[in-house]
Amino acid sequence: MLTAASFTIPFTRYLSAQGEPVAEMPAFARDVRDLLPLYKAMVRTRIFDEKAIALQRTGRLGTFASSLGEEAVGVGVASAMRAEDVLLPSFREQSAQLWRGVSLGELLLYWGGDERGSNFKGPREDFPICIPVATHFPHAVGVALAMRLRGEKRAAVAIAGDGATSKGDFYEAINVAGIWRLPVVFVIANNQWAISVPRRAQTACETLAQKAVAAGIPGEQADGNDVIAVRDAAERALARARRGEGATLIEAVTYRLSDHTTADDARRYRSDAEVSPHWKEEPIARLRSFLAARGVWSKDDEHDLRESCRAEIERAVSEYFATAPPAPSDMFDFLFAELPAPLAQQRHALNRQGHAP
Amino acid sequence: MTELTLVEAVNRALRHAMEEDERVIILGEDVGADGGVFRATVGLLERFGPDRVRDTPLAETAIAGMSIGLAAQGFHPVAEVQFDGFMFPTLDQMINHAARLRTRTRGRLSCPMVLRAPYGGGIHAPEHHSDSVETYFAHAPGLRVVIPSSPERAYRLLLSAIRDPDPVVFLEPKRLYRAAKEEVADDGAGMPLDRCFALRQGTDATLIAWGAMTAEVLAAAQALEDEGISAEVVDVATLKPLDADTILRSVEKTGRAVIVHEAPLTGGLGGEIAARIAESALLSLLAPIRRVTGYDCVMPLPRLESSYLPSAADVVEAVREVMAFK
Ligand SMILES: Cc1ncc(C[n+]2csc(CCOP(=O)(O)OP(=O)(O)O)c2C)c(N)n1
Ligand SMILES: [Mg+2]
């Protein structure tokens, strides 16, 4: 038989699970000190997640999705982006959001059940967290088309999980982006689980990255627990996008060390024996070993970093607690640019009933 | 002034909007060289080029979803879905995203897009080409739902929809696309998106309809006049937000209400209008409210289509009943 088409899926890794270099470092990592901001961002995210879970457990935050073990995906991707790019995150990308300037307080407000948390003061054009899985992928295509139509050298970056690759929205989006060669990077944080459904039950494909082949765009895997690999893959994809060479699909292979959310108990469907080997691969310890071995990170540094993150997060939590809920009529005030008269009547009725905030 | 059909008026409005605002772009299946399967976008590709008149792959979720991304970036996309029955995949994008982007971000991002589609029965189309889908969209807070029923209103309401800073679902009664011509000045004037239109004054009963049913209702009103019954006709062109005031004022005057739509009865917007009348104008009523609607049946194929769709005769019958009520 002849071959009509064939493909390979590259895999990028710079650090072994033990934090030893296994390839020549990309440009941004040549000076090892330049990796410190990435490390600090991952630690900051992890401490934030711990705090958020504690708040949820004590009834002071809503359901929350921890990114434990996946911090390198968001930090790697976001650190490759420029401020003028647009991020379209799903619900486990706080590491990327924080890097892009979404504040701790905004994240707390959002997860505490207040839409004002999505009115980011930093990245004004970034999309809010997307809860309906994969539905933001078509938005990223539209954002990228807008950038193309204006002749800008910007890119859209959408992140979703392994489960998202089973949805039609995912396929429709990567397909359109392929046809029009749009400046968009699709990132799949493959954490091996979609709540209780393991990756192998999601698709018969050997990799998720190869789904790009059917869309006519490059697809590749990166070690999602190696922040250097994720950033490198994202940088290359963004450079392609800016050069007008179109979209890329990156599958960042990682592992969800936490429950799906605070509303989930993962012991119902996966054993400790399944989870524990993955602790040996997690991204923070990996990079710390690398940095420590090169003499740019010490126990004192670690201690100081954790202290300062905790202090910063405690300040954000105090501010969050001190933020009064919006007035009830706030639910009408952003429905339309100008409230139509029939809705003004409903707004008035709500105010008259006088639900106290 | 030129005489235009409804679909020509849609085309004129699209052209006018694109001339006046370069943020307006069109996307959909076959909207380019083909000019749309109903020719609503004919000539626009030639005039504005493929960047602004964009043939998409066959993917309704992406058409709606991309429009949201474009709109959040400041464009005013006008997306076409080829037929009513293929709008259902867009419900997720429209309800979960378009309708709430402004609310979710407290106004930081917004969604000035129009989702257009030909809708409704009466042209002997294949399966899934004749559905009335207005209720699904009208139930979603944050969406406007507009249905023109004349060339003039098609032109002016579509212009307003495109200029509106929020998402509008614009359903075009395909049965009226070429049913009549009307003089329409291509002057760029819009019409408000939250007003019903009184198409005919009367004193005995208020006939409330939208889309292709306005034609049946107007014909019924004409026939009733010969019987000495004076019917007022209200076109609910803007279904959401609903201008209940105009409807209530009319019913308070006539004391009788007959609501006509081709969508199925249960959960149809006729029920909402009836409830508003019952809540606010009950004591004006001289007879029970009547609804003349499609049945709670799967939209039949063409051979039974006319048995499904309300007709002028059905409306006349209903009005006679409410007039006879003692
Ligand atoms: C369309 C849709 N279906 C179902 C859900 C409920 N749900 C929330 S997260 C989730 C699993 C998502 O898995 P994955 O895409 O791998 O992302 P992860 O949670 O692992 O980050 C499900 C089923 C949802 N949010 N959206
Ligand atoms: Mg997953």
B228: domain CATH number is: 3.40.50.920
Closest residue of chain B to A88, computed from CA coordinates: B69
Total structural domains within chain A: 2
Task: Check residue B300 and report its DSSP letter.
Answer: P
Domain identity same for B161 and B263: no
- On whether residue A93 sits in a domain, the answer given is yes
pLDDT at A355: 52
Domain identity same for A37 and A157: yes
Q: Mention every residue, 6+ apart, whose C-beta is less than 8 A from residue A138.
A: A169, A172, A173, A176, B61, B62, B64, B65, B66, B68, B69, B93
Domain identity same for A253 and A189: yes
Q: Tell me which of B55, B88, B108 to substitute to probe the interface with A (most A C-beta atoms closer than 10 Å).
A: B108
Domain identity same for B47 and B150: yes
Q: What is the pLDDT of residues A283-321, one digit of tens each?
A: 999 999 999 999 999 999 999 999 999 999 999 999 999
Q: Is the CB of A163 under 6 A from ligand 1?
A: yes
Q: Do residue B241 and residue A342 have CB atoms under 8 angstroms apart?
A: yes
Domain identity same for B10 and B72: yes
Domain identity same for A174 and A36: yes
- On whether residue B191 sits in a domain, the answer given is no
Token representation of residue B57? 């792959």
Domain identity same for A334 and A192: no
- On whether residue A1 sits in a domain, the answer given is no
Q: Which atom of ligand 1 is nearest to the CA of A91?
A: 21
Domain identity same for B212 and B139: no
pLDDT at A97: 98
pLDDT at A352: 86
- On whether residue B220 sits in a domain, the answer given is yes
Q: Which among B153, B184, B215 is the end of a domain?
A: B184
Domain identity same for A116 and A180: yes
- On whether residue B59 sits in a domain, the answer given is yes
- On whether residue A78 sits in a domain, the answer given is yes
Active-site positions of B read 129
Quick check: A141 contacting B, CB < 8 Å?
A: yes
Q: What is the pLDDT of residues A299-309, one digit of tens each?
A: 999 999 999 99
Q: Is A4 left (phi over 0), alpha (psi -120 to 50) or beta?
A: alpha
Q: Is the CB of A275 under 6 A from ligand 1?
A: no
- On whether residue B113 sits in a domain, the answer given is yes
Domain identity same for A295 and A331: no
Q: What residue's CA is closest to ligand 1, atom 12? A: A194
Of all residues in chain B, the percent with pLDDT exceeding 90 is 99
In sequence order, the β-bridge partners of residue B271 are none
The torsion angle over the Cα atoms of residues A102, A103, A109 and A115, rounded to 10 degrees, is -30
How many Å is the maximal CA-CA distance in chain A? 77
Q: Which atom of ligand 1 is nearest to the CA of A132?
A: 26
Domain identity same for A202 and A341: no
Angle at B171 between CA B143 and CA B13, to 5 degrees: 100
pLDDT at A356: 41
Domain identity same for B178 and B275: no
Q: Which among B117, B150, B184 is the end of a domain?
A: B184
Q: Which among B149, B184, B219 is the end of a domain?
A: B184
Query: What is the model's pTM?
Result: 0.97
Q: Is the CB of A132 under 6 A from ligand 1?
A: yes
- On whether residue B189 sits in a domain, the answer given is no
Domain identity same for A318 and A294: yes
Q: Are B178 and B218 in contact (CB under 8 A)?
A: no
Domain identity same for B221 and B110: no
- On whether residue A31 sits in a domain, the answer given is yes
CB-nearest partner of B166 from A115, A331, A336: A336
CATH number at residue B124: 3.40.50.970
Domain identity same for A239 and A333: no
Query: What residues of chain B score a pLDDT lower than 50?
Result: none
- On whether residue A2 sits in a domain, the answer given is no
Active-site positions of A read 256, 260, 269
Q: Do residue A146 and residue B69 have CB atoms under 8 angstroms apart?
A: yes
Domain identity same for A132 and A80: yes
CATH number at residue A24: 3.40.50.970
Which residues lie near ion ligand 2 (Cβ < 5 Å)?
A: A 161-162, 191, 193-194
Domain identity same for B115 and B19: yes
Q: What is the pLDDT of residues A246-280, one digit of tens each?
A: 999 999 999 999 999 999 999 999 999 999 999 99
Domain identity same for A287 and A341: no
- The confidence band for A354, taking pLDDT boundaries of 50, 70 and 90, is low
Q: Mention every residue, 6+ apart, whose C-beta is less than 8 A from residue A84.
A: A152, A154
Q: Using the predicted structure, report yes or no on whether residue A357 has a pLDDT greater than 70.
A: no
A25/A182 Cα distance (integer angstroms): 29
Quick check: A143 contacting B, CB < 8 Å?
A: yes
Q: Is the CB of A260 under 6 A from ligand 1?
A: yes
Q: Tell me which of B105, B115, B194, B247 to substitute to probe the interface with A (most A C-beta atoms closer than 10 Å).
A: B105
Q: Which ligand is nearest to the CA of A192?
A: 2
- On whether residue A141 sits in a domain, the answer given is yes
Q: Tell me which of B55, B66, B146 to substitute to probe the interface with A (most A C-beta atoms closer than 10 Å).
A: B66
Q: Do residue A118 and residue B105 have CB atoms under 8 angstroms apart?
A: yes
Closest residue of chain A to B60, computed from CA coordinates: A172
For B274, the domain range is 197-324
- Rounded mean pLDDT of A82-88? 98
Total structural domains within chain B: 2
A40/A20 Cα distance (integer angstroms): 19
Q: Is the CB of A195 under 6 A from ligand 1?
A: yes
Distance in Å, CA A220 to ligand 2 centroid: 17
Taking CA atoms, A136 is separated from B62, B71, B96, B136, B159, in Å, by 10, 13, 10, 22, 28
pLDDT at B162: 98
- On whether residue A233 sits in a domain, the answer given is yes
Domain identity same for A288 and A355: no
Q: Which atom of ligand 1 is nearest to the CA of A191?
A: 20
Domain identity same for B76 and B123: yes
Q: Is the CB of A92 under 6 A from ligand 1?
A: yes
Q: What is the pLDDT of residues A100-141, one digit of tens each?
A: 999 999 999 999 999 999 999 999 999 999 999 999 999 999
Token representation of residue B230? 């004076």
A357/A29 Cα distance (integer angstroms): 50
Taking CA atoms, B211 is separated from A317, B148, B150, in Å, by 53, 6, 9
pLDDT at A71: 98
Q: Are B199 and B231 in contact (CB under 8 A)?
A: no
For A307, the domain range is 11-325
Q: Do residue B68 and residue A146 have CB atoms under 8 angstroms apart?
A: no
Domain identity same for B177 and B209: no
- On whether residue A6 sits in a domain, the answer given is no
Q: Mention every residue, 6+ apart, whose C-beta is less than 8 A from residue B60.
A: B81, B86, B87, B89, B90
